[in-house]
A and B are shown apart, each in its own frame.
Chain A
Amino acid sequence: GENVEQHPSTLSVQEGDSAVIKCTYSDSASNYFPWYKQELGKRPQLIIDIRSNVGEKKDQRIAVTLNKTAKHFSLHITETQPEDSAVYFCAARTPGYSTLTFGKGTMLLVSP
């Protein structure tokens, strides 16, 4: 089955800095890569996703890049704000399966 590795497990930045979270996946057939944000005590919520036929996708301060050859994808957050503090999960889905395989999460702390 698919295996997703996520790094780092914790990330501390100053407000206004950029943050990058990286994930690698094992199954070259995987074709959908969402990112979820989980605030403290809340449920995970989708913030951005990318399909395998796209190399990069942006939505305001967040962007995701995908390198299919290297089998890795990254979440980029620019101009971080304290409300960006949360746990972020990457995930991958393989064709033929509706299940998502999640990384173990990255706790992002943005200090004012």
Chain B
Amino acid sequence: EAQVTQNPRYLITVTGKKLTVTCSQNMNHEYMSWYRQDPGLGLRQIYYSMNVEVTDKGDVPEGYKVSRKEKRNFPLILESPSPNQTSLYFCASSLKGQVYEQYFGPGTRLTVT
């Protein structure tokens, strides 16, 4: 089954404790992206990747890191999480190009206390 998976789905952590949210897709998509969703703010892009070893900042990259060592994986790293990073996070992937559908993962609900 073609899909985007994320782990963990739910995470409660404390300020400053490094964490990684994994994202994996099995559709051989070149493009992958991370979004955060907050009430009233919609979906805001954090980072995206056009292909292996190619990453770029989105609209809200501060406090986040990503890597793209393999085509199928695009982990999101929070090296020192803060409470303002409490949010719902979505990974998405698509074929590279202008008009291809983005497929979203199931989401990761992160709470930083």
Contacts and interface: CB of A to CB of B under 8 A. Distances in A.
A46 B90 CA distance: 14
Contacts of B107: 43
Interface stretch (B19-27, B38-46, B67-75, B76-84): B38-46
A26 to B, nearest CB: 14
Interface residues of B, number: 25
B42 A98 contact: no
A18 to B, nearest CB: 24
A43 B90 contact: yes
A42 B88 CA distance: 11
Interface of B: 31, 33, 35, 40-45, 48, 50, 58-59, 90, 94, 96-99, 101-102, 104-107
7 contacts: A34-B101, A43-B104, A98-B98, A99-B48, A99-B58, A100-B45, A102-B35
Interface of A: 1, 6, 9, 31-32, 34, 42-46, 49, 51, 89, 93, 95, 98-105
